[in-house]
Structure 1
Amino acid sequence: MTAPADGNLRRFSLAVDAMGGDNAPEAVLDGLELAAERHPGASFLVVGDEARLSALLATRPRAARLCVLRHAPQAVPGDMKPTQALRIRDSSMRIAIDAVAQGEAAAVVSSGNTGALMALAKIVIKTMPEISRPALAAITPSARGDVVMLDLGANVQCDARNLIEFAIMGDAFARAVLGLPAPTLGLLNVGSEELKGDDRVREAAETLRAQPGLAFHGFVEGHDIAAGTVDVVVTDGFTGNVALKTGEGALKLMRDLLRQVFTSSIPARAGYLLARPALERLREWMDPRRYNGAILLGLNGVVVKSHGGTDATGFAHAVDVAMDMVTHGFTQTIRDSLSRLAASPVTQD
């Protein structure tokens, strides 16, 4: 089915960049086939090569019932610079983002070029007036359950005001996506003592302690992320990106070491057979597809970035994240929280 020329005739749950990612469009449509089962009342505006998408949807009946196609003659390559992507107005990524900016879709999901998606979203959808910089957030596993981390790379340098805004957005995100009524927040620091860290971190902590409705725990350290000491970990984009990739590397190392241990000898293989049910549960818990879907927070719309190399299961999880944010009125929740912050100004660096 092709989208009507007048976009105002229908309001879509999500706009989907079908041509973004290493395995597009097949993985995208397979993901929508899975998502359609979980969200039968949703509607998806799928943007890309219409002839190709139409043929593929014919073999995916659940997705076909919920999807409307809109043709885009171009796609943004993974290695394209953001400044170049901004000049391509008929790419699948740009048209999907335009749908959110124009109010035709409530959110956008893309597995495409991260830099291009962030640049286009900031230029087209625009940052909320109360937010100085948007932040990239994602969910990671911990010993006590899922943890929200932000910023993960959108802002390498941050001042106290940025960190406070990240905390408020992280609180709203944890409420919407994790379903936590009062998520605890922590500022990532080199120690948990109040005098630790630089001026911007201490200044942000002082303001957050005084914010009504925020369960601010205080400073947390790197090991607290995996321990699940708090529900939301707030930091600058440089530190957050390093911490995230260090954690991903540690999980991969653990999986590789387990594989080596259980294939090292005949007794080890026998032990694997006995431990297999428990190891399968561990594998599911550590499956990166379960945590797919980073979110660019602080915009006038919901933007979800799926991992470029994910499969159908991972893309369906990214759709789940976007649907949760739309269903729970995430954008308005942030605006309400920021209105309370307005009475507590902080000094800029």
Structure 2
Amino acid sequence: MKTLKLVLVLLVSGAFANQALAVTLSQQDRQAAFAQAYADFEQAQQQQLANHQLEKLAQQAYRASADYFGDQHLNTANLKISYLNLVPLSTLTNEDSQRLADQVLEAYRANYDKQAVELMDALQAVLSTRSIYSELKPVKKLYSEVIDLADRHMDAQPEAMTMAKVEAGAHLLRVGSRDSRDLLDYAEEASKRLGPSHEITLLAQFQAGRYEEAAGDASGAEQRFRAVAAVPLADLSERLAIPKYMSHARLVVLLEAQGKSAEATEHCIAVAQMGYGVTDEQDPTPLFRVSPKYPILLAGRGVTGKVIAEYDISETGTVDNVRIIEADHKAFGDSSAEAIKQWRFAPRIDSGAPVKSTGHKVQMDFALD
């Protein structure tokens, strides 16, 4: 985030001293409120507080900045970007966040030339707030502006501009645009420009793999996910942690779909060793899940119900010893048990080794649209 520069408030003397003093005090109050809000946010960042705590402080900081500097000031725009970078996706793509991002871009356009590299942050902020319900035409126009800007500044900032193109392509993939196929080109471009083992190249490979999986090219996706999953934990950067975890997780799905359960086990354990295994504090999330089949006879009769099942997870992440604790109909219980037996998990890690865990529960709901 760019460094903020506080504006000094000057006292006015003369015939309008009393009126000016009242205005100045008001400005001083606003300045003090902003300085405090910004200091609180900066301190929280240094202390590495949780995102939800940082999010609240970032919101207070940008609102105090708008009150003091003005809503169109660059300081306010920068703090709005900081806020948007912290909110969860459910909040990031709502109307309020979209309006906030639009304000950021408006402020940047008012302060920078249309070819200035500084516009990149604002353009990406707008793209990040768009959802699958957004109109694609203006999204694609913004995307084209990002790519043109990145190409213009590529020679001066090859890493930052390559990453900007990859992130923009990932935003298009998220909103369902076919133009996200460009991610394949960006992965190849990154490999040639930065090298096949460069962090940004691996990030580009991961996003290209996500595109190929969505497009039905399981073989191409598997190859790219393997490249990211192969990064040793000792060499893992903070930015690659989630892509590596997701690559292992997606490989579990792709390999199970091919009947390669033994090979999928390697990736179940790899996920667990990254710290994403089963914990005592929460129910485990399957890496691979099969939905139970709705019994045809019950569906035909319009019968609905639920099942509560208990199961164990082996040291290889497979499901053992499924027990049906409660079922509104036996057929629902049988179907649920058959599905759960095919699930795969990241096993619990104890003293560095995968171990069996027991007593996990899940509820399966059978409902008709």
Q: TM-score, normalised by structure 2?
A: 0.27
Q: TM-score, normalised by structure 1?
A: 0.28
Structure with the bigger RCO (C-alpha within 8 Å, sep 6+) is 1
Higher strand share: 1
Higher helix share: 2
Q: Which has the larger radius of gyration?
A: 2
